[in-house]
């Protein structure tokens, strides 16, 4: 056994005394240094530091090919393109792995059979089992593939849950070997500015190009959305993403305006079709620029006060001044003229673009319509287009397909037989350097229809590098 203290009693006492003195000296030195350092750094006391910083990226894209008819349940999924681990396909529930601001997008086509009754599909996004908002679509059976959609920007706490709930109707399966039509995506935002505004009053009609009034905010990071004016003010120079969703049973045109003049995007729906006049857009803004949604014609309907179906959301994608944001790769391109498939081979035609709003990283070749990933990472893509007003017959759809290299990622249609309505698609994909993403017009047509000269808009941005 090893002795710590000498055997001699006198010597032992001295050693103990010296140890005690040494301890007191060291302890007082330590206390002094802590006090001194906190005095020298009054702006950064240790108590305000977060307990732990979450470094891992969070993203998912889950999808299904089959029917989903389980009314009053959280929608479940068959497969995933991306899942950093927080989305449970078996339950359809996403669980936040960290506090933060998250973006969600959902799309699924309405099931209808051969009768001519009006059938609705109504999906709802729930946070911790409580409704955030609804994305309904109703129509006759011939609009067979027209989808319901919903988007949200939400501030979540660790372990908060998000899922899509099937409130009414049924989701239709892709036919044959068609690519999947049901898609749910989400990711953690890095940006410092984000908002999600919603309406709560039954309907809003305007013939005077009025600003669409919003009544509440699910999210308003940095308070850049003024509810009274229903206007977003850009806090810094940068590129911002926006999404509008709203439904109507009458002919309705909504546009998103920058500084009372420039239309940044528009959506519309037509009479006899109770559906979304939604759209997305992504635009470079300067500090102080004002952005708001305007109702040019028609009416936005709310099914009732509890169903929040008119939503405007936005967030910063790239801050021009700071290198702290990683999404330096982003693009937004627009096709300004009509496009007919004219391809009897059934393969479809690559959609190309005539106007470049942004192309940081030079990944998008607008004239070919192909985005080539400048670096490997997880990217978010959004596509909005409008159907032409040409009558192409009953059961005739305009259908787009998203391709990753030679693989079909998903498809979306609008099948209203006579009038224009938006076609949406969105994805969150993991890409290798030089992987190619493109949109094909598989059948039908896309058209600018009214004079905003935007018949298709395609945008994408890097969420995180790998
Ligand atoms: C979806 O449901 C329809 C109608 O019930 C049925 O005909 C079809 O086979 C189903 N599709 C799949 C992929 O289960
Ligand atoms: C779904 O739930 C609602 C409200 O609880 C209820 O009225 C409705 O009958 C349910 N539908 C089905 C198909 O279970
Ligand atoms: C069509 O679907 C609706 C709702 O699921 C159902 O009530 C109706 O009986 C169906 N009609 C036919 C002809 O299958
Ligand atoms: C979050 O959930 C995990 C796994 O269920 C659990 O271990 C942890 O204690 C939870 N944390 C909080 C703050 O609820
Ligand atoms: C509404 O806006 C449209 C296009 O932006 C314009 O053509 C029309 O004159 C405007 N109407 C009114 C009443 O200001
Ligand atoms: C919000 O907008 C209203 C109406 O334009 C204005 O009176 C108010 O000062 C604005 N609030 C802020 C915080 O800018
Ligand atoms: C924002 O952009 C404008 C126009 O390019 C420029 O004049 C201004 O200095 C920029 N602001 C900042 C803070 O860099
Ligand atoms: C772009 O699309 C148009 C219309 O389909 C087509 O005529 C043209 O050849 C395309 N351009 C390129 C470079 O592929
Ligand atoms: C863009 O695509 C067009 C048409 O395919 C091609 O001619 C052109 O070289 C491409 N541009 C670049 C920079 O790759
Ligand atoms: C796609 O398929 C064609 C023919 O099968 C092939 O020539 C081409 O290299 C493929 N492209 C990619 C990006 O895999
Ligand atoms: C962001 O960029 C920095 C520097 O380029 C890098 O160290 C960091 O890992 C990136 N973060 C993510 C989430 O990609």
DSSP assignments along 90-128, one per residue: TTTEEE-SSSEEEEEEEEEEBP--SS-S-EEEEEEEEET
pLDDT in tens, 228-246: 999 999 999 999 999 999 8
pLDDT range class, residue 124, cuts 50, 70, 90: very high
Asked if residue 176 is part of any domain, the answer here is: yes
Residue 342 and residue 210 in one domain: no
Round to whole Å and give the CA distance between 300 and 422: 15
What are residue 52's phi and psi, to 5 degrees? -160, 140
Last residue within a domain, chosen from 326, 348, 373: 326
Residue 336 and residue 464 in one domain: yes
Residue 267 pLDDT exceeds 80 = yes
Mean pLDDT of 118-126: 89
Asked if residue 40 is part of any domain, the answer here is: no
Residue 286 CA, ligand 7 centroid: distance in Å: 7
Residue 117 CA, ligand 3 centroid: distance in Å: 9
Asked if residue 253 is part of any domain, the answer here is: yes
Sheet containing 216-221: order of strands: 216-221, 194-198, 311-319, 238-245, 279-285
Residue 46 pLDDT exceeds 50 = no
What is the chain's mean pLDDT, rounded?
A: 85
Residue 60 and residue 163 in one domain: yes
Q: What is the pLDDT of residue 321?
A: 62
Q: What is the pLDDT of residue 47?
A: 41
CA distances from 51 to 32, 100, 193, 331 (A): 25, 15, 23, 36
Q: What is the pLDDT of residue 339?
A: 87
CB-neighbour burial class of residue 43 (10 A; exposed 0-12, middle 13-18, buried 19+): exposed
* Residue whose CA lies nearest to ligand 10 atom number 8: 406
Q: Check: CB of residue 245 under 8 Å from CB of residue 149.
A: yes
Mean pLDDT of 10-29: 70
Which residue, 231, 216, 221, 215, is CA-closest to 291? 231
Pocket test for ligand 1, best of 63, 64, 67 (most atoms within 8 A of CB): 67
Q: How many domains does the chain have?
A: 3
Residue 262 CA, ligand 9 centroid: distance in Å: 29
Residue 35 pLDDT exceeds 90 = no
Residue 344 and residue 438 in one domain: yes
* Residue whose CA lies nearest to ligand 4 atom number 13: 158
Last residue within a domain, chosen from 267, 300, 326: 326
Residue 66 and residue 162 in one domain: yes
* Residue whose CA lies nearest to ligand 1 atom number 5: 67
Which residue, 265, 238, 241, 189, is CA-closest to 457? 265
pLDDT in tens, 140-151: 766 678 888 999
Containing structural domain, residue 132 = 56-189
Q: What is the pLDDT of residue 402?
A: 97
Residue 308 pLDDT exceeds 90 = no
Asked if residue 8 is part of any domain, the answer here is: no
Q: Check: CB of residue 333 under 8 Å from CB of residue 458.
A: yes
Last residue within a domain, chosen from 140, 159, 189: 189
Comparing 456 with 192, the larger pLDDT belongs to 456
Which residue, 256, 265, 267, 268, is CA-closest to 232? 256
Mean pLDDT of 207-226: 91
Pocket test for ligand 3, best of 67, 113, 117 (most atoms within 8 A of CB): 113
Query: Tell me, what CATH number does 166's domain have?
Result: 2.60.120.40
Round to whole Å and give the CA distance between 134 and 422: 18
Residue 228 and residue 153 in one domain: no
Averaging pLDDT over each range in 245-249, 328-332, 368-372, which range is the top one? 368-372
* Residue whose CA lies nearest to ligand 5 atom number 4: 296
Asked if residue 32 is part of any domain, the answer here is: no
Residue 80 sits at the vertex; the CA angle it makes with 425 and 440, to the nearest 5 degrees, is 30
Q: What is the pLDDT of residue 1?
A: 42
Asked if residue 11 is part of any domain, the answer here is: no
Residue 348 and residue 311 in one domain: no
Asked if residue 19 is part of any domain, the answer here is: no
Asked if residue 15 is part of any domain, the answer here is: no
Which residue, 180, 178, 109, is CA-closest to 147? 109
Residue 461 and residue 413 in one domain: yes
pLDDT over 70 percentage in the chain: 80
Residue 464 and residue 353 in one domain: yes
Pocket lining for ligand 7, CB < 6 angstroms: 237, 286-287, 321
pLDDT range class, residue 335, cuts 50, 70, 90: very high
């Amino acid at each position: 056994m090893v002795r710590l203290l000498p055997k001699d009693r006198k010597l032992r006492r001295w050693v103990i005394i010296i140890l005690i003195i040494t301890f007191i000296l060291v302890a007082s030195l330590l206390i002094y240094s802590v006090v001194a350092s906190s005095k020298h750094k009054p702006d950064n006391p240790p108590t305000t530091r977060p307990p732990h910083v979450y470094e891992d990226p969070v993203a998912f894209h889950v999808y299904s090919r089959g029917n989903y008819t389980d009314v009053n349940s959280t929608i479940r999924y068959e497969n995933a393109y991306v899942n950093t681990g927080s989305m449970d396909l078996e339950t359809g529930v996403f669980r936040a792995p960290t506090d933060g601001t998250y973006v969600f997008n959902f799309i699924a086509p309405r099931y209808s059979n051969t009768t001519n009754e009006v059938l609705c599909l109504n999906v709802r996004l729930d946070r911790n089992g409580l409704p955030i908002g609804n994305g309904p679509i109703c129509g006759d059976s011939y609009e067979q593939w027209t989808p319901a959609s919903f988007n949200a920007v939400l501030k979540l706490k660790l372990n908060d849950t998000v899922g899509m709930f099937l409130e009414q109707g049924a989701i239709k399966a892709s036919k044959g070997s068609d690519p999947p039509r049901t898609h749910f995506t989400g990711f953690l935002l890095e940006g410092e500015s984000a908002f999600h505004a919603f309406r709560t009053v039954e309907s809003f009609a305007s013939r005077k190009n009025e600003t669409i009034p919003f009544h509440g905010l699910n999210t308003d990071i940095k308070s850049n959305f003024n509810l009274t004016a229903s206007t977003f003010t850009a806090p810094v120079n940068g590129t911002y993403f926006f999404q509008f969703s709203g439904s109507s049973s009458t002919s309705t045109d909504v546009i998103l305006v920058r500084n009372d003049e420039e239309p940044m995007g528009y959506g519309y729906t037509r009479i006899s079709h109770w559906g979304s006049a939604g759209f997305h857009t992504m635009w470079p803004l300067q500090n102080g620029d004002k952005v708001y949604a305007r109702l040019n014609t028609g009416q936005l309907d709310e099914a009732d006060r509890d169903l929040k179906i008119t939503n405007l959301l936005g967030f910063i994608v790239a801050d021009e001044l700071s290198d702290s944001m990683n999404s330096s790769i982003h693009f937004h391109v627009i096709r300004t003229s009509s496009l007919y498939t004219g391809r009897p081979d059934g393969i479809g035609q690559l959609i190309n673009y005539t106007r470049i709003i942004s192309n940081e990283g030079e990944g998008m070749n607008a004239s070919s319509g192909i985005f080539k990933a400048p670096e490997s990472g997880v990217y978010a893509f959004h596509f909005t287009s409008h159907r032409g007003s040409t009558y192409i017959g009953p059961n005739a759809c305009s259908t787009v397909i998203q391709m990753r290299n030679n693989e079909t990622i998903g498809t979306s249609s609008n099948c209203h037989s006579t009038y224009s309505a938006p076609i949406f698609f969105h994805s969150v994909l993991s890409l290798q350097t030089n992987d190619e993403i493109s949109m094909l017009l598989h059948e039908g047509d896309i058209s600018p229809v009214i004079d905003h000269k935007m018949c298709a808009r395609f945008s994408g941005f890097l969420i995180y590098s790998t």
